Amino acid sequence: MSTRMLVLIPMKDPAEAKSRLAPALSEAERSQLALLLFKTVVQRIRLAVMSLKQCDSGQGGIDVAVVSNSAEIVALAAELKIGHINEQDNAGLNSAVSEAAKTACDLGYDRLCILPGDLADPSREDIARLLSYPVDGQTVALCPSQDLGTNALVVPLPCPIAFSFGPDSFTRHFSRAADAGMMPVILPLKSLRRDVDTLADLDYLDDGWKMAIGNGERA
């Protein structure tokens, strides 16, 4: 039976993004960084999906969408030709993802992959491994972030667990999956472990990134 997966990227308004980087970057630079990281994540997902199609992996359809209430992100989603799921005003990350999961289920998707839009340097190969992992009704796949958040989560739909993104969310998601009688599988995907939230994370961006923040495009 053919399966359908939605890759969901939650995004806040770029003007409100990356506040912890304020000591090093201006508001305009933080906004630009958030947009550039998001576009890079979308591009890497597309490359991963293309590679899965080329190797005839047996994957069903894989689509990409962003959940956001930002007019700028909605416009960018249209430009990038990806889907958009509207976030209720000030719903918060977990509520936004929960509502998006219900929408995805209503649209006929049977798996949901949640990826942050601020991954530092996600590789096509790691994303392909994530998307091709055989998640079924009894399995949840997770990739922890460097600080034990959740930087990738693949769940069946309808989703059997409550989302709990935030500090130390990896442990909560793992426990909730196990408590629901499912098998939580940890995927050690190195390039998905680092996102850009703190001043220390900026060190993982190369000089091309730093120039692009000022120029408005990825070098």
Range list of H helices, 81-133: 93-106, 124-132
Tell me the pLDDT band of 193, cut-offs 50, 70 and 90.
Answer: very high
Per-residue confidence (pLDDT) for residue 2, from 0 to 100: 60
> Could you say which DSSP state residue 60 is in?
-
**Backbone angles phi and psi of 191, in degrees to 5:** -75, -10
For residue 186, the surrounding DSSP H or E stretch is: strand 183-186
Task: Answer whether residue 199 shows pLDDT above 80.
Answer: yes
Q: What is the pLDDT of residue 3?
A: 82
For the question of whether the overall pTM of this predicted structure is more than 0.85, the answer is yes
Round to whole Å and give the CA distance between 182 and 180: 6
pLDDT at 58: 59
Mind listing the pLDDT tens digit for each residue in 80-138?
999 999 998 777 999 999 999 999 999 999 999 999 999 999 999 999 999 999 998 89
What span, in angstroms and rounded, lies between the C-alpha atoms of 86 and 9?
Answer: 12
Provide the pLDDT for residue 213: 76
- Taking only the tens place, the pLDDT of each residue in 175-186 is 999 999 999 999
Whole-angstrom distance, CA of residue 50 vs CA of residue 108 = 22
Q: Strand, helix or coil at 211?
A: helix
